[in-house]
């Protein structure tokens, strides 16, 4: 892994103010999501690393605003205007300077950032999904635009539509897995990401999940949802073949890491109503180590 100074050099970021702005976003991401930070630094080419960190910091800041309730949503509306002004050439704070520079360097992100600004409030407003179709609408409205903030940086130079479709397949499975893993926490917060029609197929209701539901029915629900997730990740394996070779270790690792999480969720089964499955740390570290060696071979 190159030093941060050399990473900025290799990314062609020479202006001192911009270097400082990107460095601040590096600190932010390293502080709130060390696992993602490590994956970006270890697996992506240096030319992409500052952009990926700036996009991640932008999404983190936006989500934090929306997590603050009605006051946060009003703050997000103001933030939306600041972001659009920054992309038009009026960037003030370091995060916006880094984001605007990244979008200028990576024009594919211009539309993606605009889509995300429209999509982000959907993550603060959902409380559940009556049907599978409602879940699919959420994936299109929020999950995919959010994922593309960073995934767009890894895209091939041609064939973006096919790449976007593969990203959609992957993020649908990953979002379903998130909601399955977070059932206990979400129920405590008065929401649930597993569609109610999926519950009904197993004789369950959202209200009943908090009132000693049939454990075998919960186990069957988890198996059913996990099977759908597994099919999604199987369908997304071609995603790695669509990106440039230098970005492939990152995408392959991302898919493998989700597979480890899925197996932990399957093992937890009905216990997910008590809390999330333990994260498979050892398996994840092994995946990252192999991906790092693969990335080094590509660079050499």
22-49 mean pLDDT: 94
Q: Residue 86's pLDDT is what?
A: 94
**1-122 and 126-300 in the same fold:** yes
What percent of the chain has a predicted confidence (pLDDT) above 90?
Answer: 84
Q: Residue 91's pLDDT is what?
A: 77
Q: 47-87: per-residue pLDDT in tens?
A: 999 999 999 999 999 989 988 878 878 889 999 999 999 99
Query: Are the C-beta atoms of 246 and 298 separated by less than 8 Å?
Result: yes
What does the mean pLDDT of the chain come to? Answer: 93
Q: Residue 71's pLDDT is what?
A: 81
Q: Residue 72's pLDDT is what?
A: 79
Q: Residue 70's pLDDT is what?
A: 81
38-54 mean pLDDT: 95
Q: Residue 43's pLDDT is what?
A: 96
Q: Residue 90's pLDDT is what?
A: 82
Say which CATH superfamily domain 126-300 falls into. Answer: Farnesyl Diphosphate Synthase (1.10.600.10)
pLDDT class for 92, splitting at 50, 70, 90? confident
Say which CATH superfamily domain 1-122 falls into. Answer: Farnesyl Diphosphate Synthase (1.10.600.10)
Q: What's this model's pTM, rounded to 2 decimal places?
A: 0.92
Domain boundaries, the chain: 1-122, 126-300
């Amino acid at each position: 892994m190159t030093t941060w100074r050399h990473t900025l050099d290799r990314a062609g970021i020479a202006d001192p103010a911009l270097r400082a702005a990107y460095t601040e976003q590096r600190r932010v991401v390293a502080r709130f999501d060390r696992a993602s930070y490590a994956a970006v630094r270890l697996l992506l080419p240096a030319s992409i690393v500052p952009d990926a960190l700036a996009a991640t910091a932008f999404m983190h800041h936006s989500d934090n605003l929306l997590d603050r309730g009605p006051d946060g949503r009003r703050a997000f509306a103001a933030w939306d205007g600041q972001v659009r002004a920054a992309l038009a050439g009026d960037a003030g704070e370091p995060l916006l300077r880094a984001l605007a520079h990244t979008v200028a360097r990576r024009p594919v992100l211009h539309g993606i950032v605009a889509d995300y600004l429209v999509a982000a409030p959907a993550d603060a407003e959902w409380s559940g999904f009556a049907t599978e179709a409602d879940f699919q609408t959420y994936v299109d409205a929020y999950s995919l635009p959010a994922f593309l903030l960073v995934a767009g940086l890894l895209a091939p130079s041609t064939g973006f539509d096919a790449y976007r479709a593969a990203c959609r397949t992957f993020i649908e499975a990953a979002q379903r897995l998130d909601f399955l893993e977070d059932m206990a926490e979400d129920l405590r917060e008065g929401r649930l990401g597993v569609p109610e029609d999926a519950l009904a197929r197993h004789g369950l209701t959202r209200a009943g999940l908090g009132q000693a539901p049939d454990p075998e029915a919960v186990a069957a629900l988890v198996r059913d949802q996990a099977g759908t997730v597994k099919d999604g990740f199987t369908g997304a394996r071609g995603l790695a073949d669509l990106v440039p070779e230098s970005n492939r270790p990152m995408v392959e690792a991302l898919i493998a890491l989700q597979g480890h999480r899925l197996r932990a969720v399957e093992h937890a089964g009905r216990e997910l109503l008590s809390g999330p499955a333990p994260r498979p740390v050892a398996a994840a570290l092994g995946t990252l180590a192999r991906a790092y060696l693969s990335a080094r071979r590509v660079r050499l």
